[in-house]
Amino acid sequence: MASDPGSRNHWYGIWYRHPVDLSAAGLFLFLLGAHGWIEDLKKMCSCDPPPEAPVEEPKVSIDWKNVLIKRDEFLKLVAAVSAGFIGLVIAIPCIGFAFEYFLVPRRQDWIKVGPLESYEVGKTVDVVFTDTTGTPWDGVSAKRSAWLRRVDESNFKAFAVNCTHLGCPVRWEPGAELFLCPCHGGVYYGDGKVAGGPPPRPLHQYATRIANGHVEIKVGPVLAEG
Ligand code: FES
């Protein structure tokens, strides 16, 4: 029996005769629709990562806080160097004095003060000499003087000119046979002993000797005498 093309049996016959073709065409249409539907879904979806924010270039700026700290450190360094320099200026002379006072041996020299025959027995005169026990840069301060008394033919006594009170130079008074200090009225006998006034001890006395027809006195650092 022939099927009617307008009837229901007609389409059923076509499907029955071409099932693979019709299934492939249906699958194609389904995939086509699915693809469009997925694209629409993608556009609607907000799962895409947000666009990256533009990276800002780092700005060049001055850290004034750190600048202030560095300046403070600089000032501290300057203060430390200055303090060290001042300390050295003060310390070097002290160290030099201590070194010379405690470590350098105290020199003493015999110094000629004149020929023997130039001094009269019983007379006290002042003699000037150069102290060779000092330093090369003493200059004119190396010039010293002393009172020299010829006691007899072969004995002399020599006294420092400085008063033992505060160091003023004493003068010899031949009439009174006394040493007088002009500062505070200190008085010494002809042998250097204290006769009156504030001096606490006798005049410093140098050792003397006669060598090769010359009178010599022994000079060196004058130490405090008790
Ligand atoms: Fe000579 Fe004072 S310094 S009595």
- SS3 string, 101-135, reads HHCCCCCCEEEEEEEHHHCCECCEEEEEEECCCCC
Confidence of residue 6 (pLDDT cuts 50, 70, 90): very low
The answer to whether the CB of 184 is under 6 A from ligand 1 is yes
pLDDT of residue 1: 41
Q: Which two tokens stand for residue 138?
A: 């003493």
Residues 6+ apart with CB under 8 A from 208: 148, 155, 156, 157, 158, 215, 216, 217, 218
Please name the residue that has the structure tokens 């203060």.
79
The answer to whether the CB of 163 is under 6 A from ligand 1 is yes
Over the stretch 18-41, which tens digit does the pLDDT of each residue have? 666 766 776 777 777 666 667 766
H or E element, residue 46? none
The answer to whether the CB of 199 is under 6 A from ligand 1 is yes
Confirm if 94 and 203 have CB atoms less than 8 A apart: no
Q: From ligand 1's centre to the CA of 106, what distance in Å? A: 27
Smallest CA separation from ligand 1 atom 3, residue: 166
Amino acid, single-letter form, for residue 51? P
What is the distance between the alpha carbons of residues 82 and 78, in angstroms, rounded to a whole number?
A: 6
Residues 2-22, mean pLDDT to the nearest whole number: 56
pLDDT of residue 130: 87
User: Model pTM?
Assistant: 0.55
Residues 168-180, mean pLDDT to the nearest whole number: 95
The answer to whether the CB of 164 is under 6 A from ligand 1 is no
Residue bearing the bigger pLDDT, 65 or 127: 127
DSSP structural state of residue 137:
G
The answer to whether the CB of 220 is under 6 A from ligand 1 is no
Residue bearing the bigger pLDDT, 153 or 11: 153
Confidence of residue 5 (pLDDT cuts 50, 70, 90): very low
List the one residue out of 115, 138, 114 whose CA is nearest residue 221: 138
Confirm if 161 and 145 have CB atoms less than 8 A apart: yes
Residues 121-150, mean pLDDT to the nearest whole number: 86
